[in-house]
Amino acid sequence: MPKYVIEREISGAGDLTREQLKDISNTSCGVLRNMGPTIQWVQSYVTGNKVYCVYIAPNKEMVFEHAQQGGFPANSVSEVVTIIDPTTAE
């Protein structure tokens, strides 16, 4: 199944409290439960004004649907074509 990186522009994302992040996570998980098992949230990286999320889904449209239902921005959604890490150099 394809993997996607989602860029979400959220002003002040890096200043969100633990409680706010928990609320956002609960909202996302609730939407995912309603959408069924074919879409999965892997993890997210919070920076100053953006959140980068990794999802597994059958298509981009499903990722955008999750964003719409959850009320989250999805400024860009890119399919991951290859993963590299330090072991790639071996």
Q: Which domain holds residue 64?
A: 3-89
Would you state the structure tokens that stand for residue 41, as one six-digit string? Answer: 């949230």
Number of domains present in the structure of the chain: 1
Tell me the CATH number at 56. Answer: 3.30.70.3090
Q: Which of 68, 70, 50, 66 minimizes the C-alpha distance to 58?
A: 66
The model carries a pTM of 0.92
Instruction: For 5-32, give the DSSP string.
Output: EEEEE-TTGGG--HHHHHHHHHHHHHHH
5-41 residue pLDDT tens: 999 999 999 999 999 999 999 999 999 999 999 999 9
Task: Enter the DSSP assignment of 64.
Answer: H
Starting at the earlier edge strand, list the strands of the sheet with 3-9. 40-46, 50-56, 3-9, 76-79
